[in-house]
Structure 1
Amino acid sequence: MSRVGTDSVVLDGASLTPEAVVAVAREDATVSIADEARRAVQESRARVESVLASGEAVYGVNTGFGELVDERIPRTDLEALQTNLLRSHAAGVGRELTREEVRATMVARANALVKGYSGIREAVVDVLVAMLNEGVHPVVPSRGSLGASGDLAPLAHMSLVLIGEGAADVAGDRLRGDEALARAGLDPVTLEAKEGLALVNGTQLTVGLAALAVHDAATALRSADVAGALTTEVTMSSTVPSHEAISAVRPHPGQAASARNVRRLTAESGIVESHRNCDRVQDAYSLRCLPQVHGAVRDALEHLREAVETELNSATDNPLLFARTDAPDRASGTGDAAVLSAGNFHGEPLALRLDYAAGALTELAAICERRVDRLLNPNVQESHLPPFLTDRSGVMSGYMIAQYTAAALLNECRSTGRPSVDSTPVSGNQEDHVSMSGQSALSFRSVVENVQTVVGIELLCAAQAAEFLEASPELSHGVGTDVAYETVRDVVPKLDADRAVHEDIDRVRTLVAEGLLVERVGEAVDLE
């Protein structure tokens, strides 16, 4: 029962989507908690209280953490234990998370907590949600997570502000945690048993960043279909490889979707019709195999999206609180409360797919860069296109160096590490296998940003190539490619003389990154 409107998101612990995360992170959608989720939080907290009343030693409730798991903590020290946990775990370094990254992490953590297995009080979650709604954004260094036991360091920095410590940005001002809360009319919370651990022990940095990135990657992929269709058109290449009969006999869903996009984008294209019976036998792979390559990337992104949607609505801290009837007979706890210690904080389900998707997106950048070369390179391009898409090649370089930029970004994507293949034991070897999922999420976001630019460069060059087609009613663009061409021309004029092309690249990249290209083209054709 996910409930997300244009300006509000209701958290129920079960149905948060990447699009809802984007709405909160980028559009400042208001966040609230569903009534049934509040009841689940209350019931979970009651189970913590029953354990405390029994005096039984239970990890995370009245013991130490990690290697110190066997240290029993007196009830009088439980508040200090939780506070010290946040302070000691706030060991992050590196660049600070952006505003949208912090908000994505916060809403993901709040949704996991209201699922009702973490044992945190309703009042603590209310302050976290109020911070989102009032624009209190903790200062969170991006490095320090191992992705098991979750994203400890980043979440500790986020959570310090709830107790009036750490630092936060509010309306452009950087304030101490207590000052930031006061600016928003909020009071710091005093943590009780289990609550510090509930706040920091989870995968919400990983999944928050992944939610933003999988949304952006899908937009970049649709934009690449648009750019590839325009390139196919202006290079006088064939759209036959996108015919539905071809996809039908190799029925990968991604291939079929990209092929449909190309057909819809080039529908009614006079340019395509003008050479339908030409003597060219085959096009280069970067054009002929567009549906297969783009489609494989699409399938990889869908695989990642499935994991992100599952993780956004999962309980990922440790230990977890259950009703006795839902737990094994030997579970810790008392009465109706069962406390299970396990490993839902391990980020491997996300880490592996993030690294796989990063490799897939790198292939998207690779095929786009090859199409850029075919638009520019006088040794391979079609005779109707001048070298480097300028009338005075030699005197002018045209978009020659735009391809250099695409190649440089492609190299960066290819050299980006795959963090999930590494594991460094920590905590006295108690935590002897970790996922590095936080690093995988950061790497994936970096790849997405590079791909947005490479796709933009192809779009820029394809629009310039269109200027060298003979102007006639018979050589009209397709229904969708015409909108794509005009969208580029709205922000970048035809290149008549050499200029600093970084501005051209930045403007077209913005069309891709902000979804403006897909939005405009989507008004003319149904993009998948």
Structure 2
Amino acid sequence: MPIEPLPSCRFGAGPLTIEDVVALADRRAQAVLDDAPGFRARIQRGADFLDRLLREDGVVYGVTTGYGDSCTTVIPPSLVAELPHHLYTYHGCGLGRFLDAQETRAVLAARLASLSQGMSGTSVALLEGLAALLQHDVLPRIPAEGSVGASGDLTPLSYVAAVLCGEREVLFEGSVQSAAEVLPRIGLQPLRLRPKEGLALMNGTAVMTGLACLAWHRADYLCRLATRLTAFNVLASDGNAHHFDETLFAAKPHPGQARIAARLRADLHSDRPPRNEQRLQDRYSLRCAPHVIGVLEDTLPFLRQLIETELNSANDNPLIDPDEERVLHGGHFYGGHIALAMDTLKNTVANLADLLDRQLALLVDARYSHGLPANLSAATGPRAAINHGLKALQISVSAWTAEALKNTLPASVFSRSTECHNQDKVSMGTIAARDCLRVIELAEQVVAGMLIAARQAVALRQRVGLQAQLQGELAAMHDDLGQRIALIEEDRALDGELRQLLQDIRSRQWELYRDA
């Protein structure tokens, strides 16, 4: 059967969303430049104005001058064409891990989105080159470390600029190859950068913004999973579902918090009257779950606004106004909004991990689990003595949680003065984004452990007598978990199941809550 073409994500036709970037990063969409004549004409006007200005001996930072504190150094006209190539060359000093394929595609999408605003003085050919890298999945090898987040993501983005010029390495068709060898195979000739195109590619926030789109998307799903897991854990501990009463939450009407409570009510079918023998108050990790998860739920729309505004901005320097023919020197490369978004997101996500870790601590402790066996062991009879249930899993969940919490120190407050005090206040947005993704990774590991615990705990509660009923989507998900995870009666290694569950989480195997 013929392969269905991917839907198009059109650059230059209007603002992009986080979901657009994630679809491109996952290869579920194809990058194309808008074919509207007005879009291409605007890009060309900026390039033509810059050419005319240079012919008239105009002075433009980073075009006829050196970079950073070298802005007073005049570049002889005969060397202007070489300057952008020197920019990406001397910034080839990144270290650390390489961004993975998904992260690299997100970075390329974010840079293309910025240049498509038509205020960077670039050629259409440069935009076509970036789009071609995405279309053919030619991924520059970008070291993750080396950016202070202003003057933009200079060092990591130098690897994108170099690849477009046929230098350095790419990941293509599953192997690391020379860019010089790969570009001709996709019909792309190495670029000779125009005077400002080195700055346009490098002096912006594309790395932190691309990573922020991925982080937001993953955090949104973790928010939903933490809610569903809380519902399982209330049932498993024979808890009081009436802590999530609608009238109660109307009295403190944070919208996201109320939405989490509504989701828990729906999962637990808690509209029936409470039983007389029901505990009045569960411990905070159950009773206050909407208040913890709700902070993230309420924060996500605000963080979306920050990330998508940055995504759809012209964020290099200087900017070229093609309509009024002005060169605008400023500081839009500064990533403070993304730094705030990522520092905030990692804090709220780490709190989810901590909440779930506390719930698991209650479930495995026979003193607090209201009739469940110690460590959620399903072993019975003589063999119960040598089986340990989820004892070690609880330790690992605690370790992952502790590491997530440790990484919540805000990166944005660690500004450094660099570049001979030209860059004397910087955002640290890229470090914040990398930290945030690490916290999310650890929180996903906590959730994977909690999925095993939920499957085990609810099954064991059913053994001793489940007072409430598993119904609707909650029942369907528990049945699904039963197919994925065998009940742990005899001790077994769980790492293989945890790794598979991590894949399931990251591919959003469960559709959770259709209310939003």
Superposition TM-score, scaled by structure 1 size = 0.92
Flag structure 1 segments of 5+ consecutive residues without an equivalent: 325-335
What residue is the counterpart of 1:77 in the other structure? 79
Distance of 2:509 and 2:190 partners within structure 1: 41
Distance of 1:340 and 1:13 partners within structure 2: 24
What residue is the counterpart of 2:445 in the other structure? 453
Please point out which of 367, 382, 390 is paired with 1:379: 367
Change (3 A) 1:511 1:238: farther
Distance of 2:362 and 2:467 partners within structure 1: 24
Q: Is the 8 A contact 1:169 1:180 kept in 2?
A: no
Q: Which amino acid aligns with 2:251?
A: V
| Residues 28-56 of structure 1: per-residue CA shift (max 9 Å, x gap) | 52111122432321222122122112212
Distance of 1:68 and 1:248 partners within structure 2: 59
**Alignment pair present for 1:186 and 2:192:** no
Q: Is the 8 A contact 2:238 2:466 kept in 1?
A: no
Distance of 1:475 and 1:240 partners within structure 2: 12
CA RMSD of superposed structures (Å): 1.9
**Alignment pair present for 1:434 and 2:426:** yes
| Residues 263-318 of structure 1: per-residue CA shift (max 9 Å, x gap) | 22223x7xx96973324111011010111110012223332222111111011000
Q: Which amino acid aligns with 1:281?
A: L
SS of 1:72 mapped into structure 2 = coil
Distance of 1:474 and 1:292 partners within structure 2: 25
What residue is the counterpart of 1:282 in the other structure? 281
What residue is the counterpart of 1:501 in the other structure? 494
What residue is the counterpart of 1:406 in the other structure? 397
Q: Is the 8 A contact 2:455 2:478 kept in 1?
A: yes
Distance of 1:43 and 1:293 partners within structure 2: 51
| Residues 96-154 of structure 1: per-residue CA shift (max 9 Å, x gap) | 11011111000110110010100000011101101110111111111001100010000
What residue is the counterpart of 1:205 in the other structure? 207
What residue is the counterpart of 2:116 in the other structure? 114
Q: Is the 8 A contact 2:6 2:28 kept in 1?
A: no
Q: Cα offset for 1:467?
A: 1.3
Q: Is the 8 A contact 1:13 1:111 kept in 2?
A: no
What residue is the counterpart of 1:195 in the other structure? 197
Q: Cα offset for 1:512?
A: 2.2
SS of 2:320 mapped into structure 1 = strand
Q: Which amino acid aligns with 1:389?
A: L
Distance of 2:427 and 2:13 partners within structure 1: 24
| Residues 323-360 of structure 1: per-residue CA shift (max 9 Å, x gap) | 56xxxxxxxxxxx4111111110011111221121111
Query: Which 4+ residue blocks in structure 1 deviate beyond 4 angstroms?
Result: 272-275, 471-475
Q: Is the 8 A contact 2:43 2:123 kept in 1?
A: yes
Q: Is the 8 A contact 2:208 2:429 kept in 1?
A: yes
Distance of 1:157 and 1:391 partners within structure 2: 53
What residue is the counterpart of 1:418 in the other structure? 410
**Alignment pair present for 1:515 and 2:502:** no
What residue is the counterpart of 2:15 in the other structure? 15
Distance of 1:158 and 1:394 partners within structure 2: 59
Q: Is the 8 A contact 1:14 1:115 kept in 2?
A: no
Q: Cα offset for 1:480?
A: 1.9
SS of 2:176 mapped into structure 1 = strand
Q: Which amino acid aligns with 2:11?
A: L
Q: Cα offset for 1:461?
A: 0.8
Q: Cα offset for 1:7?
A: 2.7
Q: Would you say how many aligned residue pairs link Structure 1 and Structure 2?
A: 504
Q: Is the 8 A contact 2:140 2:169 kept in 1?
A: yes
Q: Which amino acid aligns with 1:427?
A: E
Q: Cα offset for 1:13?
A: 6.9
Q: Cα offset for 1:227?
A: 0.7
**Alignment pair present for 1:291 and 2:281:** no
What residue is the counterpart of 1:307 in the other structure? 306
Change (3 A) 1:44 1:505: same
What residue is the counterpart of 1:59 in the other structure? 61
What residue is the counterpart of 1:328 in the other structure? none
Q: Is the 8 A contact 1:457 1:509 kept in 2?
A: no
SS of 2:386 mapped into structure 1 = coil
Please point out which of 167, 172, 183 is paired with 1:165: 167
Please identify, of 390-399 and 290-299, the stretch whose mean Cα deviation from structure 2 is larger: 390-399
Distance of 1:56 and 1:107 partners within structure 2: 32
What residue is the counterpart of 1:96 in the other structure? 98
Q: Cα offset for 1:14?
A: 4.2
What residue is the counterpart of 2:227 in the other structure? 225
Flag structure 2 segments of 5+ consecutive residues without an equivalent: none
Distance of 2:346 and 2:336 partners within structure 1: 15
**Alignment pair present for 1:317 and 2:281:** no
Superposition TM-score, scaled by structure 2 size = 0.94
